[in-house]
Chain A
């Protein structure tokens, strides 16, 4: 994991995409903020580096919308941390947003591929 040097490859997250990624990273169980950031970074093969400030704003937003809930717990290495988990509403949202995203990427892909064929 020696990715901290080559910053250029990283893509800043599209507005609204962060919510989707957070929801997704919670599918397999509760996680604290730092873990979510790490997991997004790792799963995207270090393409996405989550800005921690935006992460916590997003978490609050999701909590207010009732898509995630949070409670204090203890981390694997015995530290007190606030664990977030998906609510049923959050699960629905994840499904919906994921399908929206797939339609979007497919559409964008169609356009981009179409262009390349003509070229």
Chain B
């Protein structure tokens, strides 16, 4: 069948020989030598045309083989639509789910920052930040003096760049008159040049821009597209951020959306010193912004190593400088205090995102890998089952002289078709699934399967093609040419080995299924637990939004918020109004240590003295519905000139004033002062997030301390909370037409954001659990149905011998129940291991949660029963006589 191909040269030599021979013949017939040659060539026609024909024919021959194989494969697949559809859909789900999760993981964890030479970029991190910096727990922020010291230390680092958000969320922005919100960062002068980010248009910043705090802005390509429709006139436009005019001087290269975790920065400005543009949108602290307040650790730092300098070398050089600068403004370190330690992290992916989603995503990748394994084994099993029934066909082909290569080519063609169809579907599935994943995770950075994901998917598919082509070949070849003439009895006995393998695969799938279901169950119950965790107050009817007015004096600020409160209270449907500086349920908090009656309280066993502080308005607790244990809520009568009062929570009283009546005690922050007299104690409630543990808290009244800036407004309304927002917007804009409502939403939605990663994780795990169960069911059904069909003759004999239907049904069911039992027996311990690994992601559920296990085992058993019921029924309906006669 396979002839050695002739070379084109060989062929043209033959043609040449032909012409020579012909010419000689003609010469012998009496023509002159010249004329004979002419005639011979003429008679032959175009030699080149013949050569082309030869060439094309050679091509066609091989192409023809493939086309024939593909056509044959297509026909054979169309002939068994059930098999084909199952296999294609299984592949699409298995591979598609993998691609989607891989693409999110790739974007979040693996993809480098879209900058030049990302390998030399490092994030600066610290452990043991000095006491009194207010950044307990955060290890990626630094004070301005630290930034200045590290930048000026011209050694191992080419440059150290600083960046800091203008707000934890979005800032009030205005272009023209329309108030809007956008995300902005303040950055050091060499931010763009140091990172190596190209400017699409205009220019980046310079060192001078940073020194002069120049009112310039560079916007992102995405923002340019979204807000300015890529207008070329954008350069020179004024953008007002928190009321400060900034001239747009550049547009950053497409794809660069900042260094912030999964968020897309809309604009950057040089580091500023104006109070309106304080770091993180914070109000002034004792009249100081982040630059003049050496103890506020708020800047994020990223550095570029000099070529050929290792991290360790750089650290050795920078550590002493860092440790000296860290204590600027703080005095000497307390005795026994741990020294702050600088470390360098790879600028790969988004560090904070990696922390938040890294572990869950890796777990997910694992779960999805299991799903893929199930999918691939399923298709392989389907193929094996299908091709075993085709043994006769293969055997016939072998008998007719087809070679091993021909069979392999045919099987590969079928596998190629299957995998191509499955792969295309998978890609479509992956695109939508990725989008859904991104939405769930609230990752705003652009997220779509890209080249790397495509390569990953294609690699998986390529493995599948070869696997699916080669696995059945063994079966096909094992038949041998002689099988064609054998009887069916011989066939039924021939595949005990494959049956054993089939059983192993089914057990393996059951095991994986149990693991996935347990994991899904644990996570979903965690989510349920989180959603039902009491917050300590009722969020129904609560709407929240932020405002950031232009404030030039304390008095003006107080007046603004007093007016706002009064006007909001007058809106029909509004029950009460509360103000707060730190929006509850937004992960933000201000932490400090507090003196109680003039001294730092003793805490047993060296426990934490950390207190969370919030600044709120009159009637705040009444608005939330947090019950008072003792004393009173803040009231309108608490003003700057009246007694400065404060409210604490039960945990504060328990820890710092045990066994005493807290009312009347005076507390103040350790460094800043602001003494206040406790007039109320409220019940503990959730402040930063749903899954936090109670922590001591203290509240100030906004009119009584000299800290006023952005505030968030809490509205308790009758009916649908969001319906009140248009009226609220009108009120705000009557006071200042340039003010947007910042991140308006229901309070419940705000809290839900704090469990969004758990929600995502749980939903995905649930989804993949169900997907796995569906796949296992399909596989089990396929395997059992196939085995029943193989045993038709046997069943026929049994029935002819007097077996009752019930016995036959039981025989089939028993088969799959035994497999299920083994699967569960192996699956439960495996699931325990996975559950242990999941512990940190669980909340309110133990890794050995009985309900999850019961559910998983029940689920697998149901699937096994359902998948065997149909084949069993078919077995019971076998006509003894027909069964014996067929085949």
Beta-carbon contact of A56 and B15 below 8 Å: yes
**A34 contacts which chain B residues (CB < 8 A)?**
17-18, 21-22, 25
A59 to B13, CA, bound (A): 15
Beta-carbon contact of A52 and B3 below 8 Å: no
Beta-carbon contact of A81 and B44 below 8 Å: no
Beta-carbon contact of B29 and A57 below 8 Å: no
A52 to B6, CA, bound (A): 19
Of B11, B25, B45, the contact of A52 (CB 8 Å cutoff) = B45
Beta-carbon contact of B17 and A32 below 8 Å: yes
**CB nearest neighbor in A for B45:** A53
A113 to B273, CA, bound (A): 116
Most-contacted residue by chain B among A1, A32, A82 (CB, 10 A): A82
B6 to chain A, nearest CB (A): 8
B92 to chain A, nearest CB (A): 40
Beta-carbon contact of A1 and B3 below 8 Å: no
| Residues 53-99 of B at the A interface (beta carbon under 8 Å) | 53-54, 57, 61
Which of A15-23, A72-80, A91-99, A102-110 lies at the interface?
A72-80
| Residues 7-37 of A at the B interface (beta carbon under 8 Å) | 32-35
| Residues 1-44 of B at the A interface (beta carbon under 8 Å) | 3, 6, 11, 13-15, 17-18, 20-22, 24-25, 29, 43-44
Of B14, B22, B29, B57, the contact of A1 (CB 8 Å cutoff) = B29
Beta-carbon contact of A56 and B14 below 8 Å: yes
Of A33, A35, A57, A77, the contact of B57 (CB 8 Å cutoff) = A57
**B14 contacts which chain A residues (CB < 8 A)?**
33, 56, 81-82
Beta-carbon contact of B18 and A32 below 8 Å: yes
Of A38, A56, A79, the contact of B20 (CB 8 Å cutoff) = A79
Q: Is B736 an interface residue (CB 8 A)?
A: no
Q: Is B500 an interface residue (CB 8 A)?
A: no
**CB nearest neighbor in B for A49:** B43
**CB nearest neighbor in B for A56:** B50
Q: Is A44 an interface residue (CB 8 A)?
A: no
**B54 contacts which chain A residues (CB < 8 A)?**
56-57, 60
A38 to B24, CA, bound (A): 13
B83 to chain A, nearest CB (A): 35
**CB nearest neighbor in B for A65:** B3
**A118 contacts which chain B residues (CB < 8 A)?**
none
In the complex with contacts A63-B3, A64-B3, A53-B50 CB distance below 8 A: yes
B315 to chain A, nearest CB (A): 72
A90 to B11, CA, bound (A): 22
Beta-carbon contact of A38 and B17 below 8 Å: no
**CB nearest neighbor in A for B44:** A52
Total contacting residues, chain B, CB less than 8 A = 24
**A81 contacts which chain B residues (CB < 8 A)?**
14, 17-18, 21
Q: Is B49 an interface residue (CB 8 A)?
A: yes
A41 to chain B, nearest CB (A): 11
Total contacting residues, chain A, CB less than 8 A = 21
A21 to B6, CA, bound (A): 24
A6 to chain B, nearest CB (A): 16
A54 to B14, CA, bound (A): 14
A81 to B21, CA, bound (A): 9
Beta-carbon contact of B18 and A33 below 8 Å: yes
Among all A-B residue pairs, the 7 with the closest Cβ atoms: A34-B21, A81-B17, A82-B14, A34-B18, A52-B44, A33-B18, A34-B22
**CB nearest neighbor in A for B51:** A56
**B11 contacts which chain A residues (CB < 8 A)?**
56
A6 to B54, CA, bound (A): 31
**CB nearest neighbor in B for A57:** B53
**B20 contacts which chain A residues (CB < 8 A)?**
79
Beta-carbon contact of B53 and A53 below 8 Å: yes
**A60 contacts which chain B residues (CB < 8 A)?**
6, 54, 57
B427 to chain A, nearest CB (A): 40
Given A34-B25, A79-B20, A79-B24: 9 more A-B contacts, CB < 8 Å: A1-B29, A38-B25, A51-B45, A52-B18, A52-B44, A53-B49, A60-B6, A75-B17, A75-B21
A2 to B17, CA, bound (A): 24
A62 to chain B, nearest CB (A): 11
**B43 contacts which chain A residues (CB < 8 A)?**
52
The contact sample of 18 A-B pairs, CB cut-off 8 A, is A32-B21, A33-B18, A34-B22, A35-B21, A51-B45, A52-B18, A52-B44, A53-B50, A56-B14, A56-B18, A57-B54, A57-B57, A60-B57, A66-B3, A75-B21, A79-B21, A80-B13, A82-B14
B16 to chain A, nearest CB (A): 9
**CB nearest neighbor in B for A59:** B14
**A56 contacts which chain B residues (CB < 8 A)?**
11, 14-15, 18, 50, 54
**CB nearest neighbor in B for A80:** B17
Most-contacted residue by chain B among A35, A51, A53 (CB, 10 A): A53
B46 to chain A, nearest CB (A): 8
**B25 contacts which chain A residues (CB < 8 A)?**
34, 38
A56 to B53, CA, bound (A): 10
A71 to chain B, nearest CB (A): 11
**B53 contacts which chain A residues (CB < 8 A)?**
53, 57
**CB nearest neighbor in B for A66:** B3
**CB nearest neighbor in B for A75:** B21
**CB nearest neighbor in B for A52:** B44
**CB nearest neighbor in B for A2:** B29
Most-contacted residue by chain B among A34, A66, A80 (CB, 10 A): A34
**CB nearest neighbor in B for A61:** B57
Most-contacted residue by chain A among B20, B21, B29 (CB, 10 A): B21
A53 to B56, CA, bound (A): 14
**B24 contacts which chain A residues (CB < 8 A)?**
77, 79
A33 to B18, CA, bound (A): 7
A34 to B20, CA, bound (A): 9
**CB nearest neighbor in A for B26:** A4
**A82 contacts which chain B residues (CB < 8 A)?**
13-14, 17
**B50 contacts which chain A residues (CB < 8 A)?**
52-53, 56
**B46 contacts which chain A residues (CB < 8 A)?**
53
